Amino acid sequence: MSDDKKHLLRTPSFRLDGKVAVVTGSGRGIGKGCAMGLSQAGAHTVCVARTQADLDQTKAEIEELGGSAETLICDVTSTEQIREKIGGLDRIDILVNNAGTNIPQPFLEVPEENVDKVIAINSKAVFMVAQIAAQKMADQGDGGSIINMSSQMGQVGGPIRTVYCMTKHGVEGLTKAMACDLAEHNIRVNAIAPTFVNTPMAQQFFKNEAFKKSVMDQILLDRIADIEDIMGACVYLASPASAMVTGTSLLVDGGWTAK
């Protein structure tokens, strides 16, 4: 082979063969999509959620497409369960820290119990899952990729979303700070920040025509995101194709925050 051919540039791989990916909240919606996307890229995917029936469905669909998966029941609001179940896995190369919730209410009507509930899942659980997975990656010594699921609402504000916005802005800051601390272990940390995604939960909100119109007026591409849109972003951030990307947030918002 000539010297010229030795130096031909080649596209970095988007493949994840031989990697183990853990995806929280993967029984349905975005988490299920991420689990399926990573498995189709070659990763063995550990699907984590609280409901076995949902996880079994995700696993079955992954295997139907030729992928490899296992299920893991874990309540991520329990640090004890995270340590025992996620920390007890043999290996973690990729973490998609996706489990989250939202209780839309006007700011003046939000009860303390709902503040605590959203913070428990969107903030504390995200931190603890990431810390325990990152420790395993550091101990393995091979680096890794952590993807925190943020939101476009982690970059802007919006009505009836004060607690959700607070927690997702926190995820954005956590992602940057984690990237600083974990770079020495070659662990990359990034976030995905979707707009409204076509999931059963979103469809419930869109039954309100005024709300649906207010959302569509904000999205430059004039559609809400499909789960597949998030799958592509997830595979990219997990793969060698993003080897120089850390501490950032990939907006998949159709242009919502561009204005």
Active centre residues (catalytic):
164, 168
Q: Classify strands 249-252 and 94-97 as parallel, antiparallel or unpaired.
A: unpaired
CA 38 to each of CA 18, 23, 63, 93, 103: distance values in angstroms, whole numbers, following the listed order: 11, 9, 12, 12, 29
Contact 185, 159 (CB under 8 A): no
Please choose, from the candidates 147, 118, 176, 105, the residue with its C-alpha nearest in 3D space to the C-alpha of residue 238. 147
Residue matched to tokens 């950032």 = 248
Percent of the chain that is helix, strand, coil (3-state, to 5): 50, 15, 35
DSSP assignment of 236-255: HHHSGGGTT--S-EEEESTT
H runs (alpha helix) in the chain = 3-6, 29-40, 52-64, 79-81, 112-119, 126-140, 162-182, 200-205, 209-216, 227-238
Would you give the end-to-end CA distance of the chain in angstroms? 51
Residue 230 CA from chain centroid, whole number: 9
| Six token digits for residue 201 | 């939960």
